[in-house]
Amino acid sequence: MNKYTIYHNPRCRKSREALQFLEESGHEIEIIRYLDAPLSKNELQDVLNKIKLKPSEILRKNEAEWKSIPNRNSLSENEILEQLSIYPKLIERPIVTLNQKGVLVRPLENLALFLKAN
């Protein structure tokens, strides 16, 4: 059986719903609590490659950490990636991966489609 990885924030309702959905599907799951053990820039880029999104596409722009960056609107994708690795709270969640594929689980239906396709 394949092992799915969820990048999980237990304080987030959407993340809890995705984890529950995975558990109920009967799949083996690895839980990465990325706020407790932040991803390196390279690890984060690997996740982005799997979900085929750019750093700016998983950025939570309403967080205080993002708003506190003075030049935030002129950052390159690489600079945004750096900020995501420094401030993991800025990462949109949850993200689920399997091998070299993945999905941003917003909305939850994305996860159902991902599971069905794999």
Q: What is the CATH number of the domain that holds 96?
A: 3.40.30.10
What is the band of 2 on the pLDDT scale with cuts at 50, 70, 90? Answer: confident
Whether 12 is catalytic: yes
Which residues make Cβ contacts (< 8 Å) with residue 109, sequence separation at least 6? none
Count of structural domains within the chain: 1
3/107 Cα distance (integer angstroms)? 21
pTM equals: 0.93
- Residue range 79-98, pLDDT digits in tens: 999 999 999 999 999 999 99
Across residues 52-81, what is the average pLDDT? 96
On whether the CB atoms of residues 6 and 22 are closer than 8 A, the answer is yes
3-state secondary structure of 33: coil
Catalytic residue among 2, 7, 12, 71: 12
What is the band of 65 on the pLDDT scale with cuts at 50, 70, 90? Answer: very high
Which residues make Cβ contacts (< 8 Å) with residue 95, sequence separation at least 6? 6, 7, 47, 51, 58, 102, 103, 104, 105
State which residues form the domain around 97: 3-117
Cα pseudo-dihedral 48, 49, 55, 59, rounded to 10: -30
